[in-house]
Structure 1
């Protein structure tokens, strides 16, 4: 999913006249397990925030002393009870969340298992993350909560990575993430700043957060400028930030960030008459059973035993629960729900688990539908670009011109892709995605290699 969001952001940042072809509503139409749901929520929140982020968060110093008089009308006054009064509005900010009573060692012990899972999940994609899992060498920057609830932030020994962890109880993990402290390629600021974890201004002792509910809350400020509104329990995602202000020890405002709604650049609609262009099928003279380059046996991809009607019926249930909405492209809305007139152009799987591609009657929309067990699914719709070709996606692809056979070099070994109606797939994509950069080779009817390129694809074929 994180990779889907990265694609969405890349497309949103594109300054060409082409619209975004995969709607965010489609990306988020995912039936996941609880851990996966956490990742989707985090990824989506981070993605939408990053579109508008301008600045960052707070720096560790001693607290304001009671009764300190601020400099100017933009400052704060601290009451005898230690509450912060916003001099701009006269509003008393809600107090910061409590500092967690658990020891640093216990916080590390509780968070280590989920951090290890998060590190493994990002392996191969987050090339900047070489700090290893959290252990007793990591510094605890901040911890909030009580004996059960815990939100903690940790700094790697080399200060390259900051990890966070949210726990409902000592043995119930809610979510984890890892962020770079550096400015990565193409970014304007470090990840920890754009993710609103840390204020990049020294001397900040108090932080006020304006939320989407209209309330002003004071954050708990930790070491090195990291701050939080804490975790309220019951899978609470917390409010969205609309304004962040940092104040120094005199109560003077020294930092401010305001949310600016993202503006979608005007795009030229792609005419509904542009249809998907697929290459005609080519029959190979000899079907490869082994990799012609290495001699390794090729794992074949089975055709799903589910009937086309059954696939349409099962995928329609997802459509009915998540019908095309006004935020989606017009071509997608015009395609409507899946009906018997949608063509199942490709299907793979065993038993009742399958991954299938369905094409709308107007041949300008593709639905990728992955279903496993009785209730779990992945689903996304894509409208054809102006070129008429989708190329190779993360979960499926269109067959390149002149290609009769395709080999996908997955980490588990080479796979002879299933080709059908101008589309191909390398297995049961979907479920717990594990995106890897792999080599895809195409061969003509005579077995001559005519296509060779690397692509980021879902390499976990378990479908779970």
Structure 2
């Protein structure tokens, strides 16, 4: 992501009206799979061959359970190898991942483009003013690198130690995920940022991590300055971190973090609200030239040649992954809509060949799924999310598509590169290209015209104008 931080947090965490209680690994799974093959030429995604997932800020509520200091209890471990042989319950943890044999220089080179994507997005949105460390370069040290072969999870630490970057590589130059975070504990609104998912205090010599769905804890690979890693997360299996324990050189527990109980989702939209789209209007005068300049308009993106059933079948694959990662409370309507099936309406579809961007509407008319795929299956590059209808009967404004305003028959989107472009309109929704990856978010002018070609609408809209 991949990505702009506001969009990621809204889509990955879906935390409207409740505190965000999540961790870095959880965001890596639940974040929109952000892809940008045109800008990341050497990275293929899906979770680039799978895309760059840009991780969001990891935050915990202020009342989180996190302690530093003598906590009693201990472990048995091999002092020569550092392997934990048993925790206080007598359970032998899963061994720590191996230290990667790839050089620090190679890892920096492979993650530089993802770092650039992150910084570009932050620059566009101004989401993290405290990150002043500059781009990833040779001055950044590798705090920890875990993995085998080309599959590596690495954490970089800036020269002034104010920022760390986390990068998961699933192959050579294939950045599955990337994110940058400040090392200081700071307030984010009424929340407090924490590094509990990636770092332990000084003096810790062994780290055990309990993960949702696993009975046996994992031993983490501990690196410099307290940073640790469990290796590259597998989007299809990884769970969220439940508990982190740190032990000193004598095997005594000196640190513990326990994930707080999430605040239940507070629904503010009545159950009876369904999406309301504008009545379709057939233009009598089709715009081919820009009414403002007289120059030719760029044509609308093509309608995808795929059938609706082919689209719902393909999108079901990434829909399943979305739900495997959605473990925090979220709007119950999103889950109640059920998995994508052929009963979902394909409201909008664009693309050529296997490339696809589509908007799917649930049978109950309360939820949309936005599906972007550059290959026939979820093993290829994709970007995906869901969202529920608002109280006004509209879906929240989205960077990748829009809802047609009332009384509008044609739309022109003033894109920065290709110029004024006719939008593709379908079932009350519109799109201006094969959007996906949200790595180039910009605010542009959108103009609406009635059936006779008269302008009846104008507004600024934040869009993804850099197409895959």
1:337 and 2:344 equivalent?
Answer: no
2:117 is paired with a residue whose SS is helix
1:317 is paired with a residue whose SS is helix
Matches within 5 A, 1:353-372: 355-357=357-359, 364=366, 366=368, 368=370
Query: What is the CA distance between 1:156 and its match in structure 2?
Result: 1.9
Is the contact made by 2:275 and 2:366 (CA closer than 8 Å) also made in structure 1? yes
Q: Distance in 2 between matches of 1:209 and 1:25?
A: 17
2:300 corresponding residue in structure 1: 301
Structure 1 pair 144–296 and aligned structure 2 pair: CA distance change class (3 A): same
Larger Rg: 1
Q: Distance in 2 between matches of 1:271 and 1:355?
A: 28
Match of 1:8 among 1, 4, 11: 11
Is the contact made by 1:77 and 1:85 (CA closer than 8 Å) also made in structure 2? yes
Query: What is the CA distance between 1:119 and its match in structure 2?
Result: 1.9
Is the contact made by 1:96 and 1:219 (CA closer than 8 Å) also made in structure 2? yes
Structure 1 pair 246–346 and aligned structure 2 pair: CA distance change class (3 A): closer
Structure 1 pair 189–320 and aligned structure 2 pair: CA distance change class (3 A): closer
Query: What is the CA distance between 1:253 and its match in structure 2?
Result: 3.5
Q: Distance in 2 between matches of 1:204 and 1:298?
A: 62
Deviations, residues 305-359 of structure 1 (Å, cap 9, x unaligned): 74xxx632322423666689997647624x98335xx766544445675545455
2:394 corresponding residue in structure 1: 389
Deviations, residues 129-181 of structure 1 (Å, cap 9, x unaligned): 56454332222323445787654432122434323445578x57564523222
Give unmatched runs, 5+ long, in structure 2.
Answer: 20-27, 38-42, 325-331
Query: What is the CA distance between 1:397 and its match in structure 2?
Result: 1.0
Give unmatched runs, 5+ long, in structure 1.
Answer: 17-23, 59-69
2:458 is paired with a residue whose SS is strand
Structure 1 pair 403–325 and aligned structure 2 pair: CA distance change class (3 A): same
1:408 corresponding residue in structure 2: 413
Matches within 5 A, 1:171-250: 171=172, 173=174, 175=176, 177-181=178-182, 182=184, 183=186, 185-186=188-189, 188-190=191-193, 193=195, 196-199=197-200, 201-212=201-212, 213-230=214-231, 240-248=240-248
2:47 is paired with a residue whose SS is helix
Deviations, residues 56-112 of structure 1 (Å, cap 9, x unaligned): 899xxxxxxxxxxx9774345666655557674355656655555x5xxx6232113
1:36 is paired with a residue whose SS is coil
2:329 corresponding residue in structure 1: none
1:61 corresponding residue in structure 2: none
1:452 and 2:452 equivalent?
Answer: no
Query: What is the CA distance between 1:241 and its match in structure 2?
Result: 3.1
Q: Distance in 2 between matches of 1:236 and 1:331?
A: 21
TM-score of the aligned structures, taking structure 1 as reference length: 0.69
Q: Distance in 1 between matches of 2:198 and 2:135?
A: 20
Q: Distance in 1 between matches of 2:232 and 2:268?
A: 43
Q: Distance in 2 between matches of 1:117 and 1:461?
A: 17
1:299 is paired with a residue whose SS is coil
Deviations, residues 168-207 of structure 1 (Å, cap 9, x unaligned): 78x575645232225484474446x15x1112x4443433
1:64 corresponding residue in structure 2: none
Query: What is the CA distance between 1:122 and its match in structure 2?
Result: 2.2
Matches within 5 A, 1:105-124: 107-124=103-120
Is the contact made by 2:13 and 2:30 (CA closer than 8 Å) also made in structure 1? no
Is the contact made by 2:56 and 2:179 (CA closer than 8 Å) also made in structure 1? no
Q: Distance in 2 between matches of 1:95 and 1:239?
A: 17
Structure 1 pair 202–373 and aligned structure 2 pair: CA distance change class (3 A): closer
Deviations, residues 406-445 of structure 1 (Å, cap 9, x unaligned): 3323342332323344322112234x44350322322454
TM-score of the aligned structures, taking structure 2 as reference length: 0.69
Structure 1 pair 222–453 and aligned structure 2 pair: CA distance change class (3 A): same
Structure having greater relative contact order (Cα 8 Å, sep ≥ 6):
2
RMSD: 5.0
2:141 corresponding residue in structure 1: 139
Structure 1 pair 118–280 and aligned structure 2 pair: CA distance change class (3 A): same
Structure 1 pair 237–224 and aligned structure 2 pair: CA distance change class (3 A): farther
Structure 1 pair 86–350 and aligned structure 2 pair: CA distance change class (3 A): closer
Query: How many residues were matched structurally?
Result: 425
Is the contact made by 2:2 and 2:34 (CA closer than 8 Å) also made in structure 1? no
1:67 corresponding residue in structure 2: none
1:426 corresponding residue in structure 2: 432
Structure 1 pair 352–28 and aligned structure 2 pair: CA distance change class (3 A): closer
Is the contact made by 1:284 and 1:444 (CA closer than 8 Å) also made in structure 2? no
2:256 corresponding residue in structure 1: 256
Structure 1 pair 78–283 and aligned structure 2 pair: CA distance change class (3 A): closer
2:165 corresponding residue in structure 1: 163
